[in-house]
């Protein structure tokens, strides 16, 4: 029998684990799922005859060596900073590896050795990065093959709540790691516009938004996402005048979130004094000027030039940030306090469904005429476990692992899915389960 080792049994791994277990009988596979939380791993394996759940500690050298030695392919769904640790052991033992995460500098540095050993390290096989690469390259290659010249490329993605479960004024619920949502956008975003490099520092990010419409899902605001410039090399668009990658949120979100950013409530670099003894009202007041006469709400309104019935004020009030409820966290940063507050408010409740929205816009010249293709994807979750996020992050990994196990991938080295021999079969498999892009031409 061949062996698959899955490290990490968190939120996004559910659908992937289920698929590989379902295929295990057909292909004579053993599937081991390791997590620091044994009960979680056992729940994901669900007593499957070809499954095995273990408590896994990445810092246990003996266990790490032993488990990886048994595997034909290792899937890492551990936190991203742990992938290089797994990769080094896979390289040492001559094992293939698959992740959904960005290629880290450490793994990139292994590329020559990985290739020399005839190994395949597949990375960036989630939704973003992952499905975005594959779907974009399909259209980009098509335009190139016709002799077209790309003038602009926009790629925007949002992990959101489905309309039927959208019952709060922020039109948002946590569909992945809450900490990452709170810290999103920190640093400086950069992109190309009409041949000019543009920078957006964090304190300007949620002010500099624009609006798009996606199929029949209505309107979304887009804010810039990290480093768009690097994608010129990834997609072979070295001379493209405009390239922009963004994150989508429903209208109203960015405007209200900007207030938290401006106040400093998303800062994770220091501890708030006596954080376990203050209320949320005390917390937000710590970031406002001292004033003997004005209330906390009045100070916010004056600082941001808002009326009491403005959308921003209504959204802030809804969070409970003005309530006299104890924070109850010891030695917490501002970001952790804000996360603690919002985890209850933005929680996916029983029966809720999430939604992934992705849209690419390609502007190009062909035969001296200007053209535009808008390629859009909407995926809704099925259940609280089989979420849109788990499906779109997990299934590309599952399909790629299946192909590796069946020796259907000949590519060697540190690979991302931007070449036809990888993205064509994967997109076809994704279409078979309803993950399909709709193209609009003009």
Condensed to tens digits (0 to 9), the pLDDT of residues 120-129 reads 999 999 999 9
How confident is the model at residue 224, as a pLDDT?
97
Q: Give one DSSP letter per residue of 412-433, joined into a string.
A: -EEE-S-SHHHHHHHHHHHHHT
Tell me the C-alpha distance between 69 and 306, whole Å: 61
The 10s digit of each residue's pLDDT in 245-273 is 999 999 999 999 999 999 999 999 999 99
Structural domains for the chain:
2-123 (3.40.50.720)
What SS3 class is residue 140? helix
The 10s digit of each residue's pLDDT in 131-147 is 999 999 999 999 999 99
How confident is the model at residue 11, as a pLDDT?
83
pTM score, two decimals?
0.92
Helix residue ranges per DSSP H, 206-310: 231-234, 253-263, 280-285, 296-304
Tell me the C-alpha distance between 90 and 122, whole Å: 12
Tell me the C-alpha distance between 273 and 270, whole Å: 9
What SS3 class is residue 298? helix
- What pairs with residue 152 in β-bridges? 242, 363
The 10s digit of each residue's pLDDT in 68-109 is 999 999 999 999 899 999 999 999 999 999 999 999 999 999
How much of the chain exceeds pLDDT 70, in percent?
A: 100
Tell me the C-alpha distance between 387 and 274, whole Å: 38
What SS3 class is residue 205? helix
Spatial contact of 166 and 217, defined as CB atoms under 8 Å apart? no
Average pLDDT of span 400-415:
96
How confident is the model at residue 256, as a pLDDT?
98
Burial of 113 (0-12, 13-18, 19+ CB in 10 A): middle
How confident is the model at residue 384, as a pLDDT?
81
């Amino acid at each position: 029998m061949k062996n698959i080792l899955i490290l990490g049994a968190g939120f996004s791994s559910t659908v992937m684990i289920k698929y590989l277990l379902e295929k295990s009988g057909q292909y004579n596979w053993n599937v081991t799922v390791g997590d620091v939380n044994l009960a979680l791993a056992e729940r994901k394996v669900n007593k499957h005859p070809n499954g095995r759940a273990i408590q896994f500690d990445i810092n246990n050298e003996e266990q790490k060596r032993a488990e990886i030695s048994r595997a034909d392919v290792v899937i890492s769904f551990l936190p991203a900073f742990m992938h290089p640790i797994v990769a080094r052991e896979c390289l040492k033992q001559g094992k293939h590896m698959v992740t959904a995460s960005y290629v880290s500098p450490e793994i990139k540095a292994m590329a020559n050795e990985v290739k020399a050993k005839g190994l395949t390290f597949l990375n960036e096989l989630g939704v973003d990065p992952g499905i975005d690469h594959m779907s974009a390259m399909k259209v980009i290659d098509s335009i190139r093959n016709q002799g077209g010249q790309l003038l602009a490329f926009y790629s925007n993605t949002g992990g959101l709540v489905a309309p039927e479960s959208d019952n709060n004024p922020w039109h948002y619920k946590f569909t992945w790691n809450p900490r990452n949502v709170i810290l999103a956008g920190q640093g400086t975003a950069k992109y190309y516009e009409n041949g000019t490099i543009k920078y957006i520092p964090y304190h300007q990010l949620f002010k500099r938004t624009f609006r798009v419409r996606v199929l029949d899902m209505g309107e979304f605001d887009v804010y810039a996402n990290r480093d768009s410039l690097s994608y010129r090399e990834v997609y072979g668009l070295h001379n493209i005048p405009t390239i922009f990658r963004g994150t989508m949120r429903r209208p109203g979100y960015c405007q209200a979130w900007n207030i938290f950013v401006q106040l400093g409530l998303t800062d994770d670099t220091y501890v708030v004094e006596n954080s376990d003894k203050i209320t949320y009202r005390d917390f937000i007041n710590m970031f406002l000027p001292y004033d003997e006469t004005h209330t906390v709400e009045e100070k916010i309104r004056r600082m941001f030039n808002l009326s009491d019935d403005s959308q921003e004020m209504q959204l802030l009030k809804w969070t409970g940030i003005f309530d006299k409820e104890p924070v109850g966290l010891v030695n917490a940063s501002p970001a952790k306090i804000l996360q603690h507050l919002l985890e209850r408010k933005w929680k996916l409740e029983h029966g809720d469904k999430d939604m992934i929205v992705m849209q690419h816009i390609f502007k190009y010249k062909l035969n001296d005429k200007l053209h535009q293709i808008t390629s859009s994807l909407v995926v809704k979750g099925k259940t609280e476990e089989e979420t849109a996020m788990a499906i779109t992050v997990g299934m590309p990994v599952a399909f790629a692992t299946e192909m590796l196990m069946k020796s259907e991938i000949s590519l060697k080295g540190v690979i991302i899915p931007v070449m036809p021999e990888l993205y064509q079969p994967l997109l076809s498999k994704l279409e078979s389960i309803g993950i399909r892009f709709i193209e609009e031409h003009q």
